[in-house]
Structure formats: structure tokens, C-alpha cells
């Protein structure tokens, strides 16, 4: 296989190619390393890539396969890790000078699980400052005058630019789905608690979720499967007692899915008018299988997410500020000051409201397979605006702990925009299956026109 073919492979396809002997891990990793060397000067997706270390891992994978030993589902496949997630071989700098050369020499539970599945950790990708809102150096590969979004900026950009088949990100409001939307790749934030957060920078214990950026639904499923296991080290992690996501996601839905199109209170004030039009069109294309639903009280849910994130940010990052404000950006200092002033009564109420709010949303799934809503307010903002875009269409579902996907199935003026699908907690498999169904359906519509 030539370089262009290799870097176009998804993780699932790459694993199969290595398994079947159509390529080697070394060839595959070399192709991606070359792509990174050629492109990352312009894109700035990576914090660290160690060519020799990556090739070492790849050659070792090839040796193991050569012995005819059993191999894992990601054997020899390079993956990127957002630089808020610890890896034993690279520092974890969290996009903040206070963590410069911060070397823990251990793998996060999620990274350890990926290594067990055979993956090659090719490098660490750029995050915004402490996985919050200050822009990073990364450019959007689809239009380098634009932001890739944040905070999983490097992961989204690297996947979009074929510098790696897939990458880990994290989401507290919209940090996986928003960059996925802007960069035109798939982003998946699984159910809260499905993937352990041990070894991940804590910004909000109530909200932080590890997620995946990739170029296919199969990859979201396969990579999540490899990481989902009960970890006593993360109190919110739970046992999975369900078939593997990859199996469910690749199956045909038993009945055609139907969608609850929810505009949310963010629609009127925040959604780009072109996005509003595009969703009206989408809704029309889906016909009877898509129904616009209004849910009362979502404005409170948005506010609860905001309060929880602000207060927990202040609790986890405030101690950094106590050491000196200057290594942090002005924006972050202001945000942490604001968080420290959140009345504790409001915070407790915001945390305690989550289950009640979820119960109201849960009912919806008696009649619908998934919620359909924008993954971002519109296409990526220009770098000159100095922002990474708003997570206002994502925070709601993160707060509710529901699995959510951004699917790159929409374009506005040539720029990608994600369609967000949201599923029932612990029903990640059905959500991925529904996403795949929607992708197929919309491709068919396109082929017709």
C-alpha cells in the first residue's frame, strides 16, 4: 500500500491490514510520521512526537505479529493522545507553562487499555490552556485561517489532516464534539463513567469525560470498546454489562430510527442563521422520522452546567492560581475568580438537579431513538477572532452524562459542521448504530441529487 492509501486508513481498517499482512505497523507508522513532518509546521497539532520511539513500538508490534502470537484489536495502529492524558513515555503539559516537562512516567487507565489492545502511542496532541477556552497554536486543516475549536484542538486537527487515524480527547462542556464539528471528523463523548479518567487532568469531576476523535463510526466504537472497563480508581466508572459497541454499531437497526430535533435555548441567540437553514433542510429530508420537540427547563440545565464547571474549575485550578497568577492567561484568571465566587448553595443545587433533569429527558426515548441537534453554533471561527468557539450546544448533554456524537455530515459554505446525535445513558451502542444509519441515509440523499 502506498503512503496516500495508508494515511487514509481508519484505525479499524489499519488494524485489519496489519492483521492480514497487507501492511506492517512500521510502514503504517512511517507514513503517518512522514505526514506529520510534512504538515505539522502549518497545522501545529502536536506537542511531541518521538519518531524513533514510535517506530520502536511499531517494530515491536510487527515482531509480535511475526511470531504468530495473538494480537489485540488495535495491534500496530498509531493513535494520538491529548496532552492532558498521562502517558508513560511523554510529559503531560496540559497546555500550561506550570506543567512544562511534567513527567509522571505512568499511563492513564485509558492509555494503558489502548496499549493492551496493541496500539502505538505516536505522540501527544495540543490542548488549549488547561483544556479550557484560551486558543492554542493549532490551525484548522480544512481552512488554516480558522480555529480547530478546543480544547481537543490537536487531536481533531491531526485526525482531520490524516496525521493519525484517531485520537483521544476530553470533554467537560464541548471539547470533543466542537473541534470534531469544526474539523470535519467524528467526535464521540461516551456515557459519563464508561471510560476511566484516572491519569487525566481533572478540571471538573462531575463533567470530565474521555472521548474519541476519528474518521469513522467503527473507529469510535472499536476504540471506546478497548477502553471501557470498570476502574476502582475513578469513582464514577461503572461496569459495562452489554455487548461490545463495535458489534452493535455495525449492525442494521431493527427498525428505522427516528429523531427528536431539539433546538435548545441556545438556538435563537447563538446558532448561525446558515446552520438554522441547514437544519431545517435536514429535518425536511428526514421527513416523518424527525420531529421537532421542545423541552421545558433546558435553560436551567444550561445554567447548571455552567455553574458546575465554573465552581469545579475554581476548585481544581484555583490552587495553581494561589501559586501565582502570571503563568495563567488573563481570561483563565478571570474565569477562576468568577468560579470561586459561585454561591455554594447554587453549586449544590446544580449538582443535585442532574438526575431529575435526566429523568425528564429520558422519557423522550420512549418515542425517539436519538436527539438531533447542532454540534456547534456554526462553522469554525476565524483565528483572528481569538476564540475557539462556543460549546453551548454540547454542555447540556455533557452535564446530563449522555453519550453524544458529532457526525461530519453537513457543510456550510464549504466548511464542515457536525450534526450532533445524543443517546440514552449506557446506550452508546445504539447511538453509534443510529449515527451510522444517518450517515448512510444522508449519503444516499446526496447521491440522488
Sites of contact with its own copies (CB under 8 A): 205, 235, 311-312, 314-316, 318, 339-345, 347-349, 352, 355
Candidate list 25, 136, 175, 181, residue with the active-site label: 175
Q: How far is the CB of 324 from its own copies (least distance, A)?
A: 17
Is residue 151 part of the annotated active site? The answer reads yes
User: Which of residues 253 and 318 has its CB atom nearest to its own copies in the complex?
Assistant: 318
- Read off the C-alpha cell for 434: 443510529
Q: How far is the CB of 345 from its own copies (least distance, A)?
A: 4
What are the DSSP calls for 82-128, one per residue? Answer: ETTB--SSS---TTSGGGTT----S--HHHHHHHHTT-EEEEEE---
What are the DSSP calls for 264-316, one per residue? Answer: -THHHHHS-HHHHHHHHHHHHHHGGGEEE---TTHHHHHHHHHHHHHHHHHHH
Q: Which residues contact residue 408 at a Cβ distance below 8 angstroms, ignoring those fewer than 6 apart?
A: 180, 181, 184, 185, 186, 416, 418
d(CA 213, CA 157): 10
- Read off the C-alpha cell for 217: 463510526
Rounded to 5 degrees, φ, ψ at 160 are -65, -35
Q: How far is the CB of 223 from its own copies (least distance, A)?
A: 27
Q: Which residues contact residue 287 at a Cβ distance below 8 angstroms, ignoring those fewer than 6 apart?
A: none
User: Which of residues 330 and 355 has its CB atom nearest to its own copies in the complex?
Assistant: 355
d(CA 197, CA 111): 10
Q: How far is the CB of 341 from its own copies (least distance, A)?
A: 8
Task: Let me know: does 78 contact 54? Beta carbons within 8 Å.
Answer: yes
d(CA 137, CA 139): 7
Q: How far is the CB of 318 from its own copies (least distance, A)?
A: 5
Q: How far is the CB of 98 from its own copies (least distance, A)?
A: 18
For residue 34, the Cα-to-chain-centroid distance in whole angstroms is 25
Question: Environment class of residue 154 by beta-carbon count within 10 Å: exposed (0-12), middle (13-18) or buried (19+)?
Answer: buried
Candidate list 25, 82, 124, 204, residue with the active-site label: 82
* Count, residues in the chain: 449
Is residue 82 part of the annotated active site? The answer reads yes
User: Which of residues 352 and 382 has its CB atom nearest to its own copies in the complex?
Assistant: 352
Q: Coil, helix or strand for 341? A: coil
User: Which of residues 99 and 347 has its CB atom nearest to its own copies in the complex?
Assistant: 347
d(CA 53, CA 59): 10
Q: How far is the CB of 232 from its own copies (least distance, A)?
A: 9
User: Which of residues 198 and 291 has its CB atom nearest to its own copies in the complex?
Assistant: 198
Candidate list 25, 110, 147, 151, residue with the active-site label: 151
User: Which of residues 27 and 311 has its CB atom nearest to its own copies in the complex?
Assistant: 311
Task: Let me know: does 226 contact 74? Beta carbons within 8 Å.
Answer: yes
User: Which of residues 101 and 322 has its CB atom nearest to its own copies in the complex?
Assistant: 322
The set of catalytic residues is 82, 151, 175
Amino acid at each position: 500500500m502506498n503512503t496516500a492509501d495508508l494515511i487514509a486508513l481508519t484505525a479499524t481498517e489499519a488494524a485489519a491490514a496489519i492483521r492480514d499482512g497487507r501492511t506492517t505497523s512500521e510502514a503504517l507508522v512511517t507514513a503517518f510520521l512522514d505526514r506529520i513532518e510534512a504538515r505539522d509546521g502549518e497545522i501545529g497539532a502536536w506537542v511531541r512526537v518521538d519518531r524513533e520511539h514510535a517506530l520502536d513500538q511499531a517494530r515491536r508490534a510487527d515482531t509480535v505479529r511475526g511470531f504468530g502470537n495473538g494480537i489485540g484489536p488495535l495491534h500496530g495502529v498509531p493513535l494520538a493522545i491529548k496532552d492532558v492524558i498521562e502517558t508513560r513515555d511523554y510529559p503531560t503539559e496540559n497546555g500550561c507553562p506550570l506543567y512544562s516537562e511534567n513527567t509522571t512516567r505512568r499511563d492513564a487507565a485509558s492509555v494503558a487499555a489502548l496499549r493492551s489492545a496493541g496500539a502505538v502511542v505516536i505522540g501527544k496532541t495540543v490542548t488549549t490552556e488547561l483544556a479550557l477556552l484560551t486558543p492554542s497554536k493549532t490551525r484548522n486543516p480544512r481552512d488554516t485561517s480558522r480555529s480547530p475549536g478546543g480544547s481537543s484542538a490537536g487531536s481533531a486537527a491531526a485526525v482531520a489532516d490524516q496525521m493519525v487515524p484517531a485520537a483521544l480527547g476530553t470533554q467537560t462542556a464541548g471539547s470533543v464534539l466542537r473541534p470534531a464539528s469544526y474539523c470535519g471528523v467524528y467526535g464521540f463523548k461516551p456515557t459519563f463513567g464508561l471510560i476511566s479518567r484516572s491519569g487525566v487532568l481533572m478540571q471538573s469531576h462531575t463533567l470530565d469525560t474521555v472521548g474519541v476523535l476519528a474518521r469513522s463510526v467503527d473507529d469510535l466504537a472499536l476504540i471506546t470498546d478497548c477502553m471501557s472497563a470498570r476502574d476502582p480508581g475513578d469513582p464514577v466508572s461503572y461496569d459495562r454489562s452489554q455487548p461490545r459497541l463495535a458489534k452493535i454499531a455495525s449492525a442494521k437497526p431493527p427498525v428505522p430510527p427516528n429523531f427528536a430535533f431539539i433546538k435548545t435555548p441556545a438556538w435563537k441567540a447563538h446558532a448561525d442563521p446558515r446552520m438554522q437553514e441547514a437544519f431545517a433542510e435536514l429535518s425536511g429530508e428526514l421527513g416523518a422520522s424527525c420531529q421537532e420537540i421542545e423541552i421545558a427547563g433546558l435553560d436551567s440545565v444550561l445554567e447548571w452546567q455552567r455553574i458546575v464547571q465554573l465552581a469545579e474549575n475554581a476548585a481544581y485550578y484555583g490552587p495553581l492560581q494561589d501559586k501565582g497568577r502570571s503563568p495563567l492567561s488573563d481570561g483563565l484568571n478571570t474565569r477562576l475568580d468568577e468560579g470561586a465566587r459561585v454561591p455554594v448553595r447554587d453549586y449544590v443545587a446544580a449538582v443535585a438537579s442532574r438526575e431529575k433533569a435526566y429523568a425528564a429527558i429520558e422519557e423522550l426515548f420512549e418515542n425517539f431513538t436519538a436527539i438531533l441537534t447542532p454540534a456547534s453554533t456554526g462553522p469554525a471561527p476565524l483565528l483572528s477572532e481569538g476564540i475557539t468557539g462556543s460549546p453551548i450546544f454540547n454542555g447540556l448533554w455533557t452535564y446530563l452524562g449522555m453519550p453524544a456524537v458529532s457526525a461530519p455530515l453537513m457543510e456550510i459554505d464549504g466548511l464542515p459542521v457536525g450534526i450532533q446525535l445524543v443517546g440514552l445513558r449506557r446506550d452508546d451502542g445504539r447511538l453509534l448504530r443510529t449515527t451510522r444509519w444517518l450517515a448512510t441515509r444522508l449519503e444516499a440523499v446526496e447521491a440522488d441529487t
